[in-house]
Amino acid sequence: MTAPDESSEGVPDRAGSSEGVPRSTTGGPRRRPVLAVVVVVILAVDAILLAWTEMAWLTVRTEATGFPLPLSALVAAVTTPLLVLAADAAMPRSAALFAPLGTWTLTIVGAGLWSPAGAGVLPPDWRAILLLAAGVLPALVVGMRRPGRYDPLPPAPGPVRHGPGDG
């Protein structure tokens, strides 16, 4: 009777080791955990509620002069990127991070411009454009600049070729 080769334990390339070997080799598509999908849906609903709240508070004016005070644009500039980051944390490396931004934007454009009674709830001036830009632009920047979002392709195998100017 021979003793088992203890030098192969924990080494993926040795016989007798089970590290690095996948449990299932079915090759089927990866399924997203249900909890991650539920989190992204909740974030999308939160984006809709935030959009309605921001549109409602967009008409705030100062008491003394009556000048518009669009603080809800500042709230949108902070909350929509946070929703995008949260969706990316729930489902990394997927397009799910744009679900809250898409629902927020559709709510602002849809409810802001149209309603059953005629004009929407957005004021017809610069505040509506400011709210839309303050919500969409920072969230797009955060969503597109996530580290590791688009990993570069590995270099092609083969000899390294130097150009005429390379030394």
pLDDT for 21-55, tens place per residue? Answer: 555 555 445 666 899 999 999 999 999 999 999 99
Does residue 152 sit within a domain?
A: no
Strands (E), 81-157: 114-115, 118-119
Q: What's the whole-number average pLDDT of the chain?
A: 79
Helix ranges (H only) for 20-153 are: 34-56, 71-90, 99-113, 126-144
pLDDT above 90 as % of the chain: 44
Does residue 97 sit within a domain?
A: yes
- Checking if the pLDDT of 90 tops 70, the result is yes
Q: Which residues of 31-47 are buried (b: 16+ CB within 10 A; e: fewer)?
A: eeeeebeebbbebbebb
Instruction: Give the total residue count for the chain.
Output: 167
Amino acid at 35: L
Reported as a single tens digit per residue, the pLDDT across 118-162 is 777 888 889 999 999 999 999 999 988 765 555 445 555 666 666
Does residue 95 sit within a domain?
A: yes
Does residue 26 sit within a domain?
A: no
- Checking if the pLDDT of 8 tops 60, the result is no
Mean pLDDT, rounded, for 80-102: 92
For residues 94 and 39, give the distance between their C-alpha atoms in angstroms, rounded to a whole number: 14
Q: What is the total count of domains within the chain?
A: 1
Strands (E), the chain: 114-115, 118-119
For residues 104 and 127, give the distance between their C-alpha atoms in angstroms, rounded to a whole number: 16
For residues 163 and 144, give the distance between their C-alpha atoms in angstroms, rounded to a whole number: 33
Amino acid 62: pLDDT: 86
Does residue 39 sit within a domain?
A: yes
**Confidence class of residue 67 from pLDDT cuts 50, 70 and 90?**
confident
More confident residue, 166 or 70: 70
Does residue 166 sit within a domain?
A: no
Given a contact cutoff of 8 angstroms between Cβ atoms, the answer to whether 70 and 53 are in contact is no
Does residue 102 sit within a domain?
A: yes
Does residue 2 sit within a domain?
A: no
Predicted model pTM: 0.67
For residues 167 and 165, give the distance between their C-alpha atoms in angstroms, rounded to a whole number: 6
For residues 89 and 9, give the distance between their C-alpha atoms in angstroms, rounded to a whole number: 35
Radius of gyration of the chain (CA): 26
For residues 90 and 75, give the distance between their C-alpha atoms in angstroms, rounded to a whole number: 22
